[in-house]
Amino acid sequence: SVPPTIWYRLVAGLNAQLRLVRRGHLRTSFCLIMNWLETHANPTLSPYGVHVDLACFQPIACGYRQFGLTVHSVEDESTQPSVEEPNVTLTNNDWRKAVDD
pLDDT at position 77, please?
52
**How do beta strands 50-57 and 66-73 pair?**
antiparallel
CB 59 within 8 A of CB 65: yes
pLDDT at position 5, please?
93
Question: What value does the mean pLDDT take over residues 72-83?
Answer: 59
Question: What value does the mean pLDDT take over residues 70-81?
Answer: 67
Instruction: Provide the residue ranges of all domains of the chain, joining segments of one domain with +.
Output: 4-100
Using one digit for the tens of pLDDT, what is the confidence trace for 51-63? 998 887 777 787 7
